[in-house]
Amino acid sequence: MGRIRAAFHDPDGDRYGIPTFWWKGAPDGYATRRQLRKRGLCPGGQPIAAQVLWAGVGGTRAAYLYDLDLARPKRTATPAVLAALAKAMRARRTCPTCRRVRPYVIPRSLGECLSCAPSEVA
């Protein structure tokens, strides 16, 4: 085991307070938020079960791990929520000056679509 791996190997949590592993050294049964999301799960309010530490740019980096047995299925959006999001996005694409729905979000810095904005700005 190399020096870096040995520095981040603390499976009992004596040194860091929670079980700590090196990069790609975590045992099965743990997953990060992204890994949970890929499986259709979420942490579900559980505390951080372990961490992975590695030497990165700017210092030591950390990734928190959650117990797979305690993970819950992620919530899916209802049709009403999806409709509300679609309505909100349509409002962000509608120019307040010409009232046209554009294929892009209206820039907040201009306050109107690129066609209505003064030519010096756009």
In this prediction, residue 90 carries a pLDDT of 97
102 within 8 A of 92, measured Cβ to Cβ: no
Instruction: State the 10-residue block means of pLDDT for the chain, 122 residues long.
Output: 73 89 90 96 95 89 95 95 97 95 94 86 52
Give domain limits for the chain: 3-73, 77-116
pTM of the model: 0.67
Candidates 107, 38, 110; CA nearest to 68 is 38
- Sign of the alpha-carbon dihedral angle for 89, 90, 96, 101: positive
**What does the chain come to in residues?**
122
Exposure class string for 11-23: b at 16+ Cβ within 10 A, else e: eeeeeeeebbbbe
